[in-house]
A and B are shown apart, each in its own frame.
Chain A
């Protein structure tokens, strides 16, 4: 005999009620008419306990009604011998996915993570398949699912624990979405051979910080069969303070630094110190900053005089992993630009647009000169460090069209300068003077009649156009050209055509010369030639001409841990990257091992420093407030726990019991009996009441 709802048997306690009522009764018999009760207060009924039960039959009937009802509601059934065999097909795969991002370096968190993994492993049943993954921006398998044929529960569990002992948090950002999707994919893949009722469980151990990314969950539907059990491990959520040096938009003598203090932070007073490359504090006056909890503040920190000071440290915050911010304290490169062209500056001339394009930036200090005489020009071009020479020879004063000037240009180019030459109809002699014989310049027939030409076949792999390589920016069809020249390089020349007009003529020709190079533009950017100056691509092209090899300055580019560094160099042969710890790593065009914050230095074959890169912890990682796990459900993740084998067995047993009880339905008999007994009780009670009324009447009459 079994009971489907045994809790209803508690109703048997109700049997005590009739016994109690039979033992206890009110003393008064009958009632008394009285004129008014307005002066009377109810007296508490005097209860007397009687040692002897009266109306035993009635009592038994009443108790029987209650007992029958309790029995009926508890749904009794007769058990039948039936074996419940789940078989060996049932498998529960548990993927333990541990957050190993930078925020897990908060004090004590990793120990808690290890403890949680231990707990999860301890809670596994014999037969459960565990695997351990750790994730930051990507998911890494520390211990995969074992082959079922060679499966041994204890060995697997020990392997998981060992893998966890060896694991440590990284410095990268958190991408929970990507980790869940990948873990679910792995689970789904390994469970393909499992039976229908096998369970797939992800135990996600994370701080579920607000800064974590969930975007990947939007891209793909999360498998319904995979349940995610979220275990949040955190150190005082929202207690973290962080700093970030903001990007400069113009040259300044200070860094704008944003300090963010968490809502739960117990600290309000912070100080900022400079550290050198070896992360030793230096004797520069520190700044005291007050930031209230839950607030953020931007302060101005003077740039230190020493270029070696690369790290700004925040002191006062107990969560230390994001308290250092690396910046390249590099002075801007000086770029000397010489314009040879029309004497007066007019709004229709190239110089007008050039001057407005070449503004100082945090990494460049531009010195634009406009010589008025041949002597001035020669003197200017003869200086060392001339970077860019722009020649708009269409308006060039004839007095300056001298071989002396062209020789000076050629000399400067050979010394390393770059020339942007807007070719004029009568430039053949000048070009041949600079680049050598064999060049042919002709005035092209203007299309006329509202027709125009466009650039095509642009070489986006060349550094001049590479910044515009992205399809979002690579559309040049909006730039119309209506006046150009036919420029033909010598046959054996090393000149390279970077762009052509859709009429077939060359538009941009690149020619290296000595240390420098020359870009010949068949059409200028002035309105007389084209719309190029009016395009947003124009400043990019001019600036990329300044940023070409040798003049690049990547200090303005910020990298987070995990970002890929792609240096703007023409050749990566022999380059090596030095990590913040000092170890040197080979380099093949792009560097992906930005595994910790610090200064990364790029050296060439001769061990000359090419450039440096500052890599920091991602700003999103510093927000340690906890996300609500409901957000995961909003992305379609099933939050929950798959039943264990024992629970599944209990569930099946319950289902079988329900089925048995449905077939037998003893409860109906119980209700029917209860009704019958109730009827008997009613009849008996009625008779008893009548008898007692009669005796009361007799008593009254006697009185």
Chain B
């Protein structure tokens, strides 16, 4: 169980402690990248990075006949000759599905690496982090169709399978986020977290409908939008023939003439996404590929905290812990 940064919730980690994404991305193994991020993150944030369990002790209550003797604190009885029953806050394991967009547009990148690589690292980091907390993590990669689906498991080797699935080379085409969202809504019946990592550079007409369906099922949804810095500022200088990576369409564009219109439309699109997320209670984190991944992790935890425990936990005061 993670120790939530409750007392430091609004404070982002200091810049010194984060790993430089450029350096990080040079590490080949995804798992290593994830571990560096997570452990670096926890080191900076926690008093004890290894603290935490899914069962949390809350209080003692005096024994009364009829209570389950299994929860009687025998040690206390031995010490003080009083009958007390332990009360626990039961926290079920978090069930989290990471939906990763690996379409062609994610292969774009003007920094040393592409959005896809960044997205994979982000997914690996989140998976590693959750796995460390013994939460079940599933993975669904998609482009126009669903490519890989690993159900959320917490078992031996699950993380390794997930990592290897992420490390597989991708060859996606267009983006269709509707299908994975529909699929997730159909498969994942138990409430949990759904993290959608995508650039969302596609039509978002039915995004609201599908995100709404997930929310209706009780899922908490975090939308992590990964963008290349050039996509946000469109800082090109030469007029050239732009080739759409997904559709293959070609367009002659003079960036100087087209920039203002591009930024306007891009902003409009972003606002639409934001308005959809706000209306559905979906957390939106917008990340450019030069953003340190710790910050992404921080945003994730922040989102979790904002949501509180209600979504992912059910209180069962009498339920036994593991």
Query: Does A31 belong to the interface (CB within 8 Å)?
Result: yes
Chain B residues, Cβ within 8 Å of A28: 238-241, 252
Contact A33 B252 (CB under 8 A): no
Q: How far is the CA of A28 from the CA of B237 in the complex (A)?
A: 11
Tell whether B253 is near chain A: CB-to-CB under 8 Å.
yes
Whether B241 pairs with A32 at a CB distance below 8 angstroms is: yes
Q: Which residues of the other chain, B, contact A34 by a CB distance below 8 angstroms?
A: 108, 242-245
Which residues of A have CB within 8 Å of B105?
35-36
Residue among B202, B249, B252, B269 making CB contact with A43, cutoff 8 Å: B252
- B191-243, CB < 8 A from A: 199, 201-202, 228, 231, 236, 238-243
- Which of under 10, 10 to 19, 20 to 34, or 35 or more describes the interface residues of A? 20 to 34
For A45, give the chain B residue with the smallest CB separation: B252
Q: Do the beta carbons of B253 and A42 come within 8 Å of each other?
A: yes
Tell me which residues from 250 to 290 in chain B have a Cβ below 8 Å from any Cβ of chain A: 250-254, 257-258, 261-262, 265-266, 269
Assess the B262–A36 pair: CB atoms within 8 A.
Answer: no
DSSP majority for the A interface?
Answer: loop
With both beta carbons as reference points, the residue of chain A lying nearest to B109 in the complex is identified as: A35
B144 at the A/B interface (Cβ < 8 Å)? no
Given A35-B199, A36-B105, A39-B266, CB of A26 within 8 Å of CB of B252: yes
B241–A40 CB distance below 8 A: no
Given A34-B245, A35-B105, check contact A40 B262 (CB 8 Å): yes
Nearest A-chain residue to B268, judged by Cβ: A39
Chain A residues positioned under 8 Å from B247 (CB to CB): 37
When distances are taken between beta carbons in the complex, the residues of chain A under 8 Å from B108 are: 33-35
Q: Is A41 an interface residue (CB 8 A)?
A: yes
Which residues of chain B have C-beta atoms less than 8 A from A30's C-beta?
240-241
Tell me whether B246 is interfacial, beta carbon within 8 Å.
yes
Q: A383 near B: Cβ within 8 Å?
A: no
Nearest to A27 among chain B residues (CB) is B239
Contact with A32, one of B104, B115, B240, B266 (Cβ below 8 angstroms) = B240
**A37 proximity list for chain B (CB < 8 A):** 242, 244, 247, 249, 251
Q: Assess whether A33 is in contact with B251, with CB atoms less than 8 Å apart.
A: no
Let me know if B258 and A31 touch, CB within 8 A: no
Query: For residues 14 through 51 of chain A, which have their beta carbon under 8 Å from a beta carbon of chain B?
Result: 26-43, 45-46
Residue of A nearest to B265 (CB): A39
In whole angstroms, what is the CA distance A29 to B105 when docked?
23
A38 to chain B minimum Cβ distance, whole angstroms, is 7
The complex places the Cα of A26 from the Cα of B250 at a distance, in Å, of 15
Residues of B within 8 A of A36 (CB): 105, 201-202, 244-246
Determine the residue in chain A with the shortest Cβ distance to B269.
A39
| Contact in complex: A31, B242 (CB < 8 Å) | yes
Alpha-carbon separation in the docked complex, A34 to B105 (Å): 8
Q: With A37-B247, A39-B269, A40-B262 known to touch, is A32 a contact of B242 (CB < 8 Å)?
A: yes
B226 to chain A, nearest CB (A): 11
**Alpha-carbon distance between A32 and B110 when the two chains are bound, in angstroms:** 12
Chain A residues in 8 Å Cβ range of B254: 43, 46
Residues B258 and A35 in contact, CB atoms below 8 Å apart: no
CA distance in complex: A54, B86 (Å): 91
A32 lies within 8 A of B243 (CB): yes
Q: Cα distance A189–B108 when bound, in Å?
A: 94
Cβ of B272 to closest chain A Cβ, rounded Å = 12
Q: Which residue of B lies closest to A36 (CB)?
A: B201
Q: Is the CB of A42 within 8 A of B252?
A: yes
> What is the chain B residue whose CB lies nearest that of A29?
B240
A42 touches B241 (CB 8 A): no
Closest to B106 in A: A35
CA distance A43 to B236 in the complex (A): 14
Shortest C-beta distance, B192 to chain A (Å), equals: 30
Please measure, in the bound complex, the distance between the C-alpha atom of A191 and the C-alpha atom of B21, giving whole angstroms: 107
Q: Which of A470-522 contact B (CB under 8 A)?
A: none
B-chain residues with CB within 8 Å of residue A41 when the two chains form the complex: 253, 258, 261
In the complex, A31→B249 CA distance in Å? 11
Give the docked Cα–Cα distance between A42 and B241 (Å). Answer: 9
Report the separation of the CA atoms of residues A34 and B244 in the bound assembly, to the nearest whole angstrom. Answer: 5
- Given the complex of chains A and B, what is the CA–CA distance between A34 and B236 in angstroms? 11
Q: In the complex, which of the residues A29, A35, A42 has the most CB atoms of chain B within 10 Å of its own CB atom?
A: A35
What is the CB-to-nearest-CB distance from B162 to chain A, in angstroms, rounded to a whole number? 26
Chain B stretch 51-110: residues in CB contact (< 8 A) with chain A: 104-106, 108
A40 CB contacts on chain B under 8 angstroms: 242, 251, 253, 258, 261-262
Roughly how many angstroms separate A128 CA and B10 CA in the complex, as a whole number?
112
CA distance A42 to B242 in the complex (A): 10
Nearest A residue (CB) for B244 = A37
Mask of A126-147 contacts with B, CB within 8 angstroms, 1/0: 0000000000000000000000
**Interface core residue of B115, B242, B251, B261 (most chain A CB under 10 Å):** B242
The interface residues of chain A lying within 8 Å CB-to-CB of B250 are 31
From residue B97, how far is it (CB to closest CB) to chain A in Å? 25
In chain A, positions 372-390 with a C-beta closer than 8 Å to chain B are none
B89 to chain A, nearest CB (A): 45
For A46, list chain B residues within 8 Å (CB).
Answer: 239, 254
A residues contacting B by CB (< 8 A) are: 26-43, 45-46
- Chosen A-B contacts, 15 in total, with CB atoms closer than 8 Å, are A28-B252, A30-B241, A31-B242, A31-B243, A32-B242, A35-B201, A36-B245, A37-B247, A38-B201, A38-B265, A40-B251, A41-B253, A41-B261, A42-B252, A43-B258
Q: A34-B108, A40-B258 given. 16 additional CB < 8 A pairs?
A: A31-B240, A31-B242, A32-B236, A32-B242, A35-B104, A36-B246, A37-B244, A37-B251, A39-B261, A39-B262, A40-B251, A40-B262, A41-B253, A42-B252, A43-B252, A46-B254
Nearest first, the 10 closest Cβ-Cβ pairs linking A and B are: A35-B108, A43-B254, A31-B241, A35-B105, A39-B265, A36-B201, A28-B240, A37-B244, A34-B242, A32-B240
